[in-house]
Structure 1
């Protein structure tokens, strides 16, 4: 776990810096500087691009990670890297041609409820294409154990660029429409920068030669496309459906609580960048016991860190929304944004449950059994869409949040049972129950009161107190041996213990 903890720690710090910048954008700047309409529009475009991204990438980012370590010579690896970069064009070209041919029909369907979407519809495939190749070159870096740079571009770079663009809107350097177009340029620049950095790590020798194990690669790639589509639809599909049934402004009211809840999954995202290739290697070498140990460690470590983040959000949510409402002008708009608080809890719980499964996804996608689980995921996407179509017209954004909670929980539970039954791998220990109990007790103790101060001061003071209590109790009950060892190390450096 040494290299895992090292790079995961760096990735976690970078990701939280990015999320902090994104939090400033989301909580205050987007609603105030862009207004609900253009905030919702930009969010809808990015969500739609993220949904179609797996089709453009055709799973090459995961295929690269899974098969790269199986090639022994530099020539074989170079040939495989070339293949992963060039092969997606076999999907991109026909998809774009189909989109162009049926452009009017697609345009009419997506803009039937909100005409403002019509003018910007072409940005969705452009940004989706940039996202796809960014992920491929990011995977290129990850297999060479250089995940930190790509993570910095993805988490900090993109959000910092949005921050500067929002400041530009405030000072009238660009219009709100210009902000939407400039966002597409930012994603293109992120792709270019990551590509050249990847090439600096290993200089490419582009040659479109079919690898020897092409059948295995193509089979795996097909199912990874399904996997990526399932994951992204579960993440962003609800916003696309909201556009079909409600005024586009509702996406803005929904985007804030979903972003806040998404912070809970940051530790998982950070650790996944480095754990995935290690998991692929252990699975390929059939090291069951080592894999089982890694599974348990990732589960309890993520549960402990993720539980802390979830508690920090849940116990401060009322004061956090005070900050959001302070920047708004009308009471009606404040009430609409305020309706997002229950959404935070529903989406947050679904993220927490998925997080405590550790490297579950990495395990599944590196076994011969991944097909069945992916087909199950497709069924759950159909369920998600169906539930959204039922609940959104009745309950609005609350209905969408409930549909997401139910769908993601069922999907996570199915994956967990599959790994336990088929692979005899178990993520949970007695520490899992101890951690759940501590989290529940601390939540009840902290949620029922707030400091009667300015929201920012209240959040800071309450978070400090929460941190002291949470860290002390988790350390005292030895919830995570690895995290206790890290704490002991720093306490010795600070001469607080022998």
Structure 2
């Protein structure tokens, strides 16, 4: 776990820095500069592109990780990379050719009040293709055990670019409409930079000859097309469906709540960057002991770190909403709770997804991916459109879908590999989380009203004070219980208990 913890630590710092910048963008800049209507429009564009991205990528980002370490010679590896770099074009080119039909279909699903999207749908296609090729080149560096730069580009680049563009809008350097054009440009620049870096890390000799197992590669790519993207697709389906019933404003409110609830997943995203190639390598070498070791350690470590942020977010979310400039964003506490619960369960699974995707049982990912997408779609229809649960219904549909299909994945790995991620520390930590959540969720400090420029900032003091108290209590209990030896060894260098 040495290389895992080292690169995961760096990636976690990058991702949390990115989340903080994203938080400023989502909670402060977007609502005050673009306002909720136009922000909801941008959300729709990005969510729609996220749904298309895995289809455009054709699963190549997973194919690279799966097969690269199985080749023995540089020539074989170069033939492999020379072939897969062209695979996304099999989807991207026909999709671009028929985009007029896609545009017509998109507009047919939109509520009459949201027709302003009509001039911007081409950005959906461009961003999707750029993201597909970005993931390809990111995997190109992952198999060289080089994840930090790609993670920097994936997590920080867009958020910094968005912040800069929003500042330009604020000072009237560009208009709101031009903002979408320049946002699309940033995605194009990002994939170009990532391509240059990938070739710097490993520049193959390009061959026009396909590898000996090319048919197996194609078959794997087709089956794996939704793997690893299912969770993102589930959330983006929610955001894409909202404008079919309500205004873009509602999509903006829901997006903010989802962002806050998703904050806890940063360690999972960071660790996954290095866990994927390591798990693939161990499976290719039939080292089941190391696979199980990675599985259990990643599970408890992610659950431990994610648990802390789950408490910090949910025990302070009411105060956070009070600080937002537009009061329409308040009332999303249940959305935050349900999304963060779903994310925490995913973190508890550790390297489960990497095991399935990189094993001979990868075919199961296709029915699971399709099943989860259909499940959340029809549950959204039920809870949001028919039962009128509002955006709470969308979050509930997401939570139910994630719980069912991720439980299936845990059972599947248990049956096929005779291993699971749980230990006695898992149940101890679960008990700690329940007790601390019930202790701090319904209780707040009683600070007097403190106004600055007619704005009450007392919720900020409440938020910070509760966060300090929750963190101290959580770290003290988990260190004393010895939940994770790796985390204990790291913390005891700085904390004496």
TM above 0.5? yes
Q: Distance in 2 between matches of 1:235 and 1:265?
A: 14
On the 8 A contact 1:21/1:160 being kept in 2, the answer is: yes
Aligned to 2:379: 387
For each residue in 1:52-89, what CA deviation from the matched residue of structure 2 results, as whole angstroms up to 9, or x when unmatched? 00111111111001111111122222222222212221
Large movers: runs of 4+ above 4 Å? 110-113
Please state if 1:155 is matched with 2:147.
Answer: no
Q: 1:344 to 1:167 in 2, by over 3 A?
A: same
Aligned to 2:364: 372
Provide the secondary structure at the position in 1 that maps to 2:315.
helix
On the 8 A contact 1:55/1:229 being kept in 2, the answer is: no
Please state if 1:404 is matched with 2:398.
Answer: yes
Q: Distance in 2 between matches of 1:143 and 1:111?
A: 44
Q: Distance in 1 between matches of 2:410 and 2:390?
A: 31
Aligned to 1:75: 75
On the 8 A contact 1:113/1:244 being kept in 2, the answer is: no
Q: Distance in 2 between matches of 1:457 and 1:24?
A: 18
For each residue in 1:130-174, what CA deviation from the matched residue of structure 2 results, as whole angstroms up to 9, or x when unmatched? 111111111111111110001111111210111111111111111
Aligned to 2:408: 414
Contiguous gaps of at least 5 residues in structure 2: 448-457
Provide the secondary structure at the position in 2 that maps to 1:465.
helix
Q: 2:464 aligns with which of 460, 466, 469?
A: 460
On the 8 A contact 2:339/2:395 being kept in 1, the answer is: yes
For each residue in 1:217-242, what CA deviation from the matched residue of structure 2 results, as whole angstroms up to 9, or x when unmatched? 11110111132563432131111111
Q: 1:420 to 1:260 in 2, by over 3 A?
A: same
Alignment of 1:320-359 (within 5 A): 320-324=320-324, 327-328=325-326, 334=327, 336-359=328-351
Q: CA deviation at 1:111?
A: 6.2
Moved more, 102-111 or 257-266: 102-111
Q: CA deviation at 1:113?
A: 5.4
Provide the secondary structure at the position in 2 that maps to 1:86.
coil
Q: CA deviation at 1:116?
A: 1.0
Provide the secondary structure at the position in 1 that maps to 2:224.
helix
Aligned to 2:353: 361
Q: Distance in 1 between matches of 2:442 and 2:400?
A: 26
Aligned-residue CA RMSD (Å): 1.6
Q: 1:462 to 1:282 in 2, by over 3 A?
A: same
Q: Distance in 2 between matches of 1:105 and 1:356?
A: 39
Q: Distance in 2 between matches of 1:181 and 1:320?
A: 32
Please state if 1:437 is matched with 2:431.
Answer: yes
Aligned to 1:193: 193
On the 8 A contact 2:225/2:366 being kept in 1, the answer is: no
Q: Distance in 2 between matches of 1:129 and 1:111?
A: 26
For each residue in 1:252-300, what CA deviation from the matched residue of structure 2 results, as whole angstroms up to 9, or x when unmatched? 0100010011111111110000011000011111212221121110000
Q: 1:113 to 1:62 in 2, by over 3 A?
A: farther
On the 8 A contact 1:53/1:132 being kept in 2, the answer is: yes
Q: CA deviation at 1:420?
A: 1.0
Aligned to 2:275: 275
Q: Distance in 2 between matches of 1:257 and 1:422?
A: 37
For each residue in 1:289-348, what CA deviation from the matched residue of structure 2 results, as whole angstroms up to 9, or x when unmatched? 221121110000000000001111011111111111xx23xxxxx2x3213121101111
Q: Distance in 2 between matches of 1:100 and 1:116?
A: 17
Q: Distance in 2 between matches of 1:469 and 1:243?
A: 42
Q: CA deviation at 1:490?
A: 4.1
Q: 1:479 aligns with which of 476, 483, 486?
A: 483
Q: Distance in 1 between matches of 2:154 and 2:206?
A: 25
On the 8 A contact 1:107/1:118 being kept in 2, the answer is: yes
Aligned to 1:31: 31
On the 8 A contact 1:8/1:271 being kept in 2, the answer is: yes
Q: Distance in 2 between matches of 1:90 and 1:112?
A: 34
Q: Distance in 2 between matches of 1:110 and 1:51?
A: 16
Q: CA deviation at 1:108?
A: 3.4
Q: Distance in 2 between matches of 1:377 and 1:51?
A: 12
For each residue in 1:25-60, what CA deviation from the matched residue of structure 2 results, as whole angstroms up to 9, or x when unmatched? 111111111101110011111111011001111111
Contiguous gaps of at least 5 residues in structure 1: 329-333
Aligned residues: 485
Provide the secondary structure at the position in 2 that maps to 1:339.
coil
On the 8 A contact 1:54/1:225 being kept in 2, the answer is: yes
Q: Distance in 1 between matches of 2:473 and 2:86?
A: 52
